[in-house]
Chain A
Amino acid sequence: MSYSDKVLDHYSHPRNVGSMDKGSTDVGTGLVGAPECGDVMKLQIKVNPETSVIEDAKFKTFGCGSAIASSSLATEWVKGKTVDEALQIKNTDIVKELSLPPVKIHCSVLAEDAIRAAIHDWKKKRETAKPETVEARS
């Protein structure tokens, strides 16, 4: 089995690697997966409170090349979208874009989960308007 060129490209040149202040009200953090399963993704979004547009996104991933590529792609795709638009991103879109083989579909599912978890975290913060500790969720 070989990796698609797009997976290799994201693996070698991951986009938007990094971390944002998870205490900030404008930042939503999603942490999904588990070390025992071999994949953990942390995806963060910075949302404009007026427009709900995702102005910045960062990720860090522990996982195989396809997991790294899926999360890197997810950060690219959510940037510039509103929160509601970002929720429309489906794991199948990621599978198609990266030509992931069947055994790697769970990587794309995890990336979709990470987007949802980050948005959920941001929404929750906005409601309570006070910082919370990060918790893994799927």
Chain B
Amino acid sequence: MSTDVKTMPQEQLVAANGVKLPIYMDNHATTPLDPRVLEEMLPYFMEKFGNAASRNHSFGWAGEEGVETARERVAKLVGATTKEIIFTSGATESDNLAIKGVAEMYKEKGNHIITAVSEHKAVLDTCKRLEKYCYRVTYLPVQKDGLVDLDDLKRAIDDKTILVTIMAANNEIGVLQPVAEIGKLCRERGVIFHSDATQAVGKVPVDVNKQNIDVMSISAHKMYGPKGVGALYVRRKNPRVQISAIIDGGGHERGMRSGTLNVPGIVGLGKACLICMEDMPKESCHLAGMRNRLRDNIMGRLDEVYINGSMEHRLPGNLNISFAYVEGESLLMGINDVAVSSGSACTSATLEPSYVLKALGTGDDLAHSSIRFGIGRFNTEAEIDYVADRVVETVQRLRELSPLYEMAKEGVDLKQVKWAAE
């Protein structure tokens, strides 16, 4: 899913109810940096610029201290130990390292990997590449609500299976997979379980032991930290998991990820984790409240609006809805002072509607009509109300313009119409 294509208005405007425009409500794409995170990072650009790998002077020690404090904070948020955390450049790298690293390390044991069709491209395309190197990949379907069927997974595991990689929370529909159950199943069958928890960590409780996760990807910029930094959790015991490095060099991060550490970024990731851990109970209630307010506000005033994915197993800040008979990009254009995303083909680089929505069985027509709202830490209730009003008024206007809405109201069954393909 890609974000709105048009340029945002540059100057800050103020709407009637006092909210500042434009409004950012695309927090699955990225989140703004929390000022407390920035404050923690700043010294590491100037005074504490040392290379964390410099072992013999105080400049290096200062850098190392920042990194190790961050490592403790990341580990604590997910119930891991510090030695199990490897810093990377973000979740894309973490996913690559996890999947390629396990595939390489366990190739004597087997060549079969299981994932799901609704995964992020960082996982899917990594698996696709491995298929070129004689690995076999099973892409599990998802159910209408977006969840993987555990029986499907059970059936897919065979004696060549070395890895199951299933995300914790989906980036488009916010659906939470039954990670603990998947992990338990994998443990019983002696298969390594990797989870891309990029969207989940810091938003919902994640515990690698309670949820039987062996390898897990984390990214800072989805939880109010800086871009270009992330982590990979790799289990050290019960069972010990080993991975092959994909970046060779100076042997940083216990040889699993060479390259001089991005000290300010890592410090930022650590602080972001600390804040999320302290604020999560309060924050997740608040976000879910705002999300439900947005949903009720929109759905109470419009007919033929459909929620994509489970409402029960979902990130608190996510809402993904399809507005029948209205095309997503035209809707984004109408609410141009609000930054959200659409699953419409017109907004994607591939000119295909969202593959995640298609995987749910949402028809292409409704995939074109979808909007993803990503509500985050800095959104306010006044913003929610403003966004709901703008969405409702724009959908109503575009439906007046829509031949499909008119036909549907006349009782025409759109599925029966013989549409001429372009």
Given known contacts A32-B420, A62-B325, A68-B330, is B403 in contact with A38 (CB within 8 Å)? no
Across the interface, name the chain B residue whose C-beta is closest to A135. B418
Identify which of B368, B401, B422 contacts A68 (C-beta below 8 A): B401
Do the beta carbons of B422 and A63 come within 8 Å of each other?
Answer: no
Determine, out of A46-54, A84-92, A102-110, the stretch whose residues face the partner at the interface. A102-110
Q: Decide if A128 is an interface residue (CB 8 Å cutoff).
A: no
Across the interface, name the chain B residue whose C-beta is closest to A14. B401
Q: Which of B155-200 contact A (CB under 8 A)?
A: none
A25 to B344, CA, bound (A): 37
How would residues 9 to 27 of chain A score, 1 for a CB under 8 Å from any chain B CB and 0 otherwise?
0010010010100000000
Q: Decide if B383 is an interface residue (CB 8 Å cutoff).
A: no
Do the beta carbons of A110 and B417 come within 8 Å of each other?
Answer: no
Do the beta carbons of B422 and A33 come within 8 Å of each other?
Answer: yes
Interchain pairs with CB closer than 8 A, number: 98
Given known contacts A38-B346, A64-B346, is B6 in contact with A1 (CB within 8 Å)? yes
How would residues 382 to 422 of chain B score, 1 for a CB under 8 Å from any chain A CB and 0 otherwise?
00000000000000000011111110000000100111111
Do the beta carbons of B402 and A61 come within 8 Å of each other?
Answer: yes
CB distance from A15 to the nearest CB of B (A): 12
Do the beta carbons of B402 and A60 come within 8 Å of each other?
Answer: yes
Q: Which residues of B contact A64 (CB under 8 A)?
A: 327, 329-330, 333, 344, 346
Do the beta carbons of A62 and B402 come within 8 Å of each other?
Answer: yes
Do the beta carbons of B406 and A138 come within 8 Å of each other?
Answer: no
Q: Which residues of A contact B402 (CB under 8 A)?
A: 60-62
CB distance from A18 to the nearest CB of B (A): 9
A56 to B417, CA, bound (A): 26
A135 to B419, CA, bound (A): 8
A63 to B419, CA, bound (A): 15
Q: Which residues of A contact B365 (CB under 8 A)?
A: 35-36, 38
Chain A: how many interface residues by the 8 Å CB criterion?
35
Q: Decide if B269 is an interface residue (CB 8 Å cutoff).
A: no
Chain B contact residues (Cβ within 8 angstroms of A): what range?
Answer: 20 to 34
Across the interface, name the chain A residue whose C-beta is closest to B420. A138
Do the beta carbons of B368 and A38 come within 8 Å of each other?
Answer: yes
Most buried by B among A41, A60, A62, A138: A62
Q: Decide if A65 is an interface residue (CB 8 Å cutoff).
A: yes
Do the beta carbons of A11 and B420 come within 8 Å of each other?
Answer: no
Q: Which residues of A contact B79 (CB under 8 A)?
A: none
Q: Decide if A100 is an interface residue (CB 8 Å cutoff).
A: no
A67 to B6, CA, bound (A): 15
Q: Decide if A137 is an interface residue (CB 8 Å cutoff).
A: yes
Do the beta carbons of B329 and A40 come within 8 Å of each other?
Answer: no
Q: Which residues of B contact A55 (CB under 8 A)?
A: none
Given known contacts A1-B5, A19-B406, A39-B327, is B401 in contact with A110 (CB within 8 Å)? no
- 20 further A-B pairs in the complex, CB-CB below 8 A; given A31-B403, A68-B330: A11-B330, A17-B400, A33-B420, A34-B422, A36-B419, A37-B422, A38-B327, A38-B345, A38-B353, A38-B364, A38-B368, A42-B406, A60-B403, A60-B406, A62-B327, A62-B405, A64-B327, A67-B330, A103-B351, A136-B419
